[in-house]
Amino acid sequence: MISPRQVFLMALCCALAVSPIYYHQSLLPQIAAAFALPSARGSVIATVTQLGYAIGLLLFVPLADGVQPRTLATRAVVANAVALVGCAIAPSFFALALCSFLVGMTAISAQIIIPAVSGAAAPEKRGRIVGSLLGGLSSGVLLARTLSGVVGALLGWRSIFVIAAVIDLALLVVVRELPIATGLVTIRYRELMRSLGRLVREERMLRVSAAMGFLVFAAFSALWATLAALLVRPPYHFGPAAIGAFGLVGIVGLSISAQLGAIVDRIGARKIALAGALTVAVAFAFVAAGGHGLAWLVAGMVLLDLGNRATFIANQARIYALRPEARSRLNTVYMVSYFLGGAFGAALGGVGALHAAWIGLAVVGVLLSLAAVAVNSLAYRRWNSAFAGGQT
C-alpha cells in the first residue's frame, strides 16, 4: 500500500522529471533566431526531444521490472542534468538538437515512477492514484512552458536549461521517497527487450491503447510544436513570455486529473478513452479559427488538454490491469508509442502550419483524432467477446 504523502511526493517527482521535455516549446522561435534560422525550423528541436524520449523509454524503462525503480530513476536524473548543461552551452543548432535528443532520452524518471507506484496501490484506487500522478506530470508540463517563456524573455533561452539542471538536483532528493519495489524479475536485458514484442503480440488491449496514444498525442503535439511559430506571426506578434502563458490553459485539466481517474474506475476506460479522442477532434474545430481571435484558440486548447488527458489516463489504467509482473514493460510499450506519436505529430503539424497556418494545423489534428476514434471503436467491435471478461 502507498500513503497519501507518498502519492503527493511521487506526483511532485513526476512534475520535476517531465519538465525538461517541454522547456523549449515556448522558446522555439527565439532559439531559431539565435542561430539565424526561420522560426518554423525551431520545431526540429521539439521533434528530436520527443524522439529521444521515446527511445529512452524503450531502452531503459523496462529495466524497472528487474532493478529497483529508485536506483534507475536516480541514474536517469543525473544523466538528464548533464544533458541540460549541454543544451545551455550548445555552440550550434546541430549541437543543441543533439543535446535535446539526450535530454529527452534521459527525462524518463516519471515513467519509472508511475508503474512502480501503481503496483503499490490497491486495485480499487489505482485509477485515482494514476490520475494524481498524471496530474503531477501535467503540472510539470504547465510549469515548464510557462516558466521557460518568462525566463526566456528576461534572461535569454539558454538560462532555462541551467535552471532545469539545478531543478534536477532537487529531484534527486525527492526521488528517494519512491516505494521499494517487490516481485522484481530476474531476466537478461536481451530477453527483456524480446519480451516487449511478446507483450505486443499477446495483449490486444495493449495494442489498442498504444495505437490510440500514438494518434491522440500526435494531434496534441502538432499544436504545441507549432503554436509558438504561429503566435509570433500576425495578427498576434507575441513574445516568449506571452507564448509561455498559454501553458496555463492546462490548469483546467490539471484540476480534474484525479477526478478523471475516479471516473475511469467507476465507468470503465473504454468510454473515457473514446470520449477523450472525440473531444480532441472537437478542439481542433476551435483551433481552426485561432487566427481570428484568442477566445477560439484558448477554448480549443482547453478542450485539447482535457481530451488528451482523459485518453491518457484511461489507456494507462487499462494497460496496468493486464499483467502486474510486467507493468514497467507494458508502460514502456505504451509510452514509446505515445511519444513516437508526439514526434510524428510535431513534424506533421509543422507541415500543416507551414502550408495553411491555423487551418492546416486543424486539419492535421482532426484527422489524427478521428483515426484514434476509429481504432478504439473498431477494436471493440471486432474483439468484444475477448474483452467481455473484464478488460475495460
b/e burial code for range 176-186 (CB count within 10 A of at least 16 → b): eebbebeeeee
CATH numbers and ranges of domains, the chain: 4-387 (1.20.1250.20)
Question: Region 291-310: what's the mean pLDDT?
Answer: 92
Average pLDDT, the chain: 87
On whether the CB atoms of residues 310 and 273 are closer than 8 A, the answer is yes
Q: What is the distance, to the nearest Å, from the Cα of residue 63 to the centroid of all Cα atoms in its chain?
A: 20
The confidence score (pLDDT) of residue 183 equals: 65
The confidence score (pLDDT) of residue 251 equals: 79
Question: Region 61-65: what's the mean pLDDT?
Answer: 80
| Percent of the chain scoring above 90 in pLDDT | 45
Question: Region 315-323: what's the mean pLDDT?
Answer: 84
On whether the CB atoms of residues 391 and 318 are closer than 8 A, the answer is yes
Residue 114, C-alpha cell as written in the block: 508511475
On whether the CB atoms of residues 35 and 172 are closer than 8 A, the answer is no
d(CA 296, CA 278): 18
Q: Which residues contact 201 (CB under 8 A, 6 or more apart)?
A: none
DSSP result, 361-373? HHHHHHHHHHHHH
Q: What is the distance, to the nearest Å, from the Cα of residue 166 to the centroid of all Cα atoms in its chain?
A: 22
On whether the CB atoms of residues 329 and 195 are closer than 8 A, the answer is yes
d(CA 280, CA 366): 7
Angle at 33 between CA 284 and CA 31, to 5 degrees: 70
Prior bond of 235 cis (ω within 30°): yes
Q: Where are the alpha helices (DSSP H) in the chain?
A: 4-18, 28-34, 43-60, 69-89, 93-106, 109-120, 126-155, 157-174, 189-202, 204-231, 240-245, 250-255, 257-267, 269-287, 294-320, 327-382, 384-387
Q: Which residues contact 46 (CB under 8 A, 6 or more apart)?
A: 24, 25, 28, 221, 224, 225, 346
Question: Region 87-96: what's the mean pLDDT?
Answer: 97
Residue 201, C-alpha cell as written in the block: 503480440
3-class DSSP state of 34: helix
In the 8-state DSSP scheme, what is residue 178? S
pLDDT band of residue 384 (cuts 50, 70, 90) is low
* Highest averaged pLDDT of the listed ranges 174-178, 244-248, 256-260, 306-310: 306-310
Of the candidates 27, 334, 309, which has an alpha carbon nearest to the alpha carbon of residue 205? 334
Question: Region 30-59: what's the mean pLDDT?
Answer: 88
* pTM of the shown model: 0.80
Measured CA to CA in angstroms, residue 244 lies from 39, 64, 153, 322, 351 at distances of 16, 34, 10, 38, 22
The confidence score (pLDDT) of residue 176 equals: 85
